[in-house]
Amino acid sequence: MNQQASTLVVGFIGLGVMGKAMARNIRRAGFPLAVHNRSRRAVEELVAEGASAGVSPEEVAARSEIVVLSLPDTPDVEQVLFAAHGVGVGARPGTIVIDTSTIAPAATKGFSERLLSRGVHLLDAPVSGGPKGAIDGTLSCMVGGSEAALDRAMPVFQAIGKTIRRVGESGAGQLCKACNQLAIVSSLMGVVEALVMAKRAGIDPYAVREALLGGSAKSFVLENHAKRFLDGTLEPGFRSTLMLKDMKLALDAARDLGVFAPATALGTELMTALCNTGYEGKDSAALGLLVEQLSGVTR
């Protein structure tokens, strides 16, 4: 346990697949940790490992110097922050809230202003790297907000991530995550289309993938998502419904900024189609199944 870790009390709210893994790594790094979640099972797991349970977001915030959130969507974050027993009620001036959720950049700016009026600093810090990155503590954290707040919270970030990058003021982290998801889905569209084309032509798609990995087409998506699609190992992972939510956020951001965004629009349409055809609970790499079906390719 390092000395800096032992002097910072951390609260964690939202113990889903990503949140529970991040909270576990924070506890393992030596931070006193208070946790809260709507369902009790994850709380009980972490309490058994040395964390303490908080009865509400307000109580967790009252006990913590840094509060980390990992929640599904914008309304969930607003509820946890500003409801009657929310973080904003319990947090003392000087508290730092790290929001690792993926939510709307414009809403994040508003949340930051509301918290700052109470002396509380918000760092929007959505993460990339998936469940494995969360378990391994190797996430990429895209941070928006005060540089001074980030400096103070850096030991917590170092417990959950390998790459911690401040990209700008409040909301910039969320916009960066929207760019991340747009880039992933755009690449995924091209990769699965290429592999289905190979299958349609009677060429071994595994061989095509290996060939592409040896050239300029090599990418994380080709290496990982493409293999999941070809193998049919599509249990999430990152659910298609969550990717659709993120793409809608990206499309909204593009609209608000007046950006010509055909890839964002098409990616959102295809993820919508994927979720409307029974694959909403599968990994986003299931987009390849949709392309197969529409191409008349059978497994």
Report the candidate in 170, 96, 61 with the shortest Cα–Cα distance to residue 126: 170
177 is catalytic: yes
Asked if 112 contacts 124 with a C-beta cutoff of 8 angstroms, the reply is: yes
Q: Where are the beta strands (DSSP E) in the chain?
A: 10-13, 33-36, 52-53, 66-69, 96-99, 121-124, 127-128, 139-144, 161-168
Any idea what DSSP says for residue 73? S
Strand, coil or helix: 41? helix
Task: Measure CA 143 to chain center.
Answer: 12
Asked if 147 contacts 168 with a C-beta cutoff of 8 angstroms, the reply is: no
Exactly one of 109, 177, 245, 282 is catalytic; which is it? 177
DSSP string, 185-247: HHHHHHHHHHHHHHHHTT--HHHHHHHHHTSTT--HIIIIIHHHHHHT--S-SSBHHHHHHHH
| Start-to-end C-alpha separation, the chain | 51
Report the candidate in 38, 44, 94 with the shortest Cα–Cα distance to residue 67: 94
Q: Which of the residues are catalytic?
A: 177
